[in-house]
Structure 1
Amino acid sequence: MTTHGPVLPIWSCGGCDLPWPCPTRRRELRAEYADAPVSLALYLGGYLVQAAEDMPWASAGALHRRFIGWTRQPPEGRKTSDGT
């Protein structure tokens, strides 16, 4: 069980106090959902909806990048298929 869970309603990380999902939790989630990227996006989509209710001042784009947008990017240190 991770200590890097969200602290509501401010959506900071309970383990490191960074915005949640923090880099550590993102790595954990990538590993947990390695064979199910769509399930990961759906899981995080539920959190995005909750966060949007808790943080009405945050832009939809910023919340999307924070909760879902990173899931389509290769993990840090890995190159994409085009070599970048």
Structure 2
Amino acid sequence: MTMHLPVRPVWTCAGCGQVWPCLTRKRQLLAEFAGARVSLMLYLTQFFVEACVDMPTTTTGTLYHRFFAWPYEPTDAPPGRKGAPPGW
């Protein structure tokens, strides 16, 4: 089981202290939900809603980007393979 879980209400990573989801957890989630993008987004939605409640002074746009934008950001893929993570 991963140690890279969110510490609430500040939403930092219990494993490394970075903002959650941290880079390690993002990589784990991509592997865990490989080929199941909708399921990953539904999973992240749960955390997004909880983070909105825990951090009411943080803008929704900031939290949206934190939880939903990273699966679509460019990866370390070779040239010509930018965009979605491998396998998506």
Code of the residue aligned with 2:82 in structure 1: it is T
Code of the residue aligned with 2:46 in structure 1: it is G
Aligned residue for 1:72? 72
Unaligned runs of 5+ in 2: 84-88
Instruction: Kindly provide the CA deviation profile for residues 14-65 of structure 1, in whole angstroms up to 9, marking residues without a partner as x.
Output: 0000000000000000000011011101100110000000000111111011
For 1:10 and 1:59, the matched residues in 2 are separated by: 14
TM normalised by structure 2 equals 0.85
Aligned residue for 1:53? 53
* SS, match of residue 10 in structure 1: coil
Q: Say whether 1:15 aligns with 2:15.
A: yes
Code of the residue aligned with 1:6 in structure 2: it is P
TM normalised by structure 1 equals 0.89
What is the correspondence of 1:5-44 to structure 2 with a 5 Å cutoff? Answer: 5-44=5-44
Unaligned runs of 5+ in 1: none
For 2:29 and 2:61, the matched residues in 1 are separated by: 21
Q: Which 4+ residue blocks in structure 1 deviate beyond 4 angstroms?
A: none
Q: Say whether 1:63 aligns with 2:63.
A: yes
* SS, match of residue 68 in structure 1: helix
Aligned alpha-carbon RMSD (Å): 1.2
